[in-house]
Amino acid sequence: MTTDNLPGLPEEPVARRGMFGVHDTGDTSGYGRLVVRRPPKPSSARPYGSYFDEIADTLEASFAGAIERVVVDRGEVTFHVAREHLVDVMRGLRDDPALRFELSLGVSGVHYPEDTGAELHAVYHLCSITHNRRVRVETSCPDADPRIPSTVPVYPTHDWHERETYDFFGIVFDGHPGLTRIEMPDDWEGHPQRKDYPLGGIPVDYRGAEVPAPDKRRSYS
């Protein structure tokens, strides 16, 4: 993140300007001139270190072309997997004796509006009780086709996690046994954790005072 008046900074690519992406009276942060640059997609080079190379070797041998890139950061590894290979890779991570990631810690969603063609991401955190190891698996889909295969057949506990990710981000998990909202009302419009979801518009009564809706609050720009 940088400010607009620092010399020597390239103008492109720019992910967004201002805090929260607001361009009018909704920006109450005082950071209206903030410029967030768009870095290239990270990809780590071999050797990855720790046990990460061993896992990568096993996955690449079993699922050629499935791993799009590998990112190692802060002692953690993330395998970015093409969505059409997701279920097979997850099953391999669970069942291969050399891997044995028996435990999934959940599914979460991320929305990157600037990641053209891969705006919606699903992230899976896996743990091997057998080998005392952890990995992260990430896959993506375009906003125009927000579909990712369900991993409930591999990790049944993903049932409610995928429902929550669908509820908040709008990712449709194909093959899920009952993909319905789990937090928001059934008739709710939109998916409230997407970055393009409006800040609000509904005033709130609090102790006798009315707090204006986010888009009606004063601006410091």
List of residues 6+ apart from 35 with CB closer than 8 A: 1, 2, 3, 4, 9, 14, 17
In the prediction, which pLDDT does 212 show?
Answer: 72
CB 217: neighbour CB atoms within 10 A?
14
CATH code at 52-174 = 3.30.460.80
In the prediction, which pLDDT does 209 show?
Answer: 78
Which residue in 173, 176, 104, 106 sits closest to 141, CA to CA?
Answer: 173
Write down the domain spans for the chain: 1-39, 52-174
Torsion of CA 22, 23, 28, 34, to 10 degrees: 80
Q: What 8-state DSSP symbol labels residue 18?
A: S
Strand-pairing partners, residue 129, are: none
The pTM score is 0.78
Q: Ramachandran region of residue 106, left (φ > 0), alpha (ψ -120 to 50) or beta? A: left
In the prediction, which pLDDT does 208 show?
Answer: 78
In the prediction, which pLDDT does 2 show?
Answer: 44
Centroid of chain to Cα 10: 27
Which residue in 64, 98, 94, 96 sits closest to 81, CA to CA?
Answer: 64
CA–CA dist 4, 33 (Å, integer):
6
Strand-pairing partners, residue 78, are: 71, 136
Q: What is the per-residue DSSP string for 83-143?
A: GGGHHHHHHHHHH-TTT---EEEEEEEEE-TTSTT--EEEEEEEEETTTTEEEEEEEEE-T
Tell me the per-residue pLDDT of 84-127, one tens digit each, with 9 for 90 and over.
Answer: 999 999 999 999 999 999 999 999 999 999 899 999 999 999 99
In the prediction, which pLDDT does 12 show?
Answer: 63
Tokens of 58: 């096993």
Length of the chain: 221
CA–CA dist 81, 77 (Å, integer):
13
Per-residue pLDDT in tens (0 to 9) along the chain, 221 residues: 444 444 444 556 666 676 655 555 555 555 666 777 767 788 999 999 999 999 999 999 999 999 999 999 999 999 999 999 999 999 999 999 999 999 999 999 999 998 999 999 999 999 999 999 999 999 999 999 999 999 999 999 999 999 999 999 999 999 999 999 999 989 888 999 999 887 766 666 667 777 777 666 666 55
In the prediction, which pLDDT does 1 show?
Answer: 44
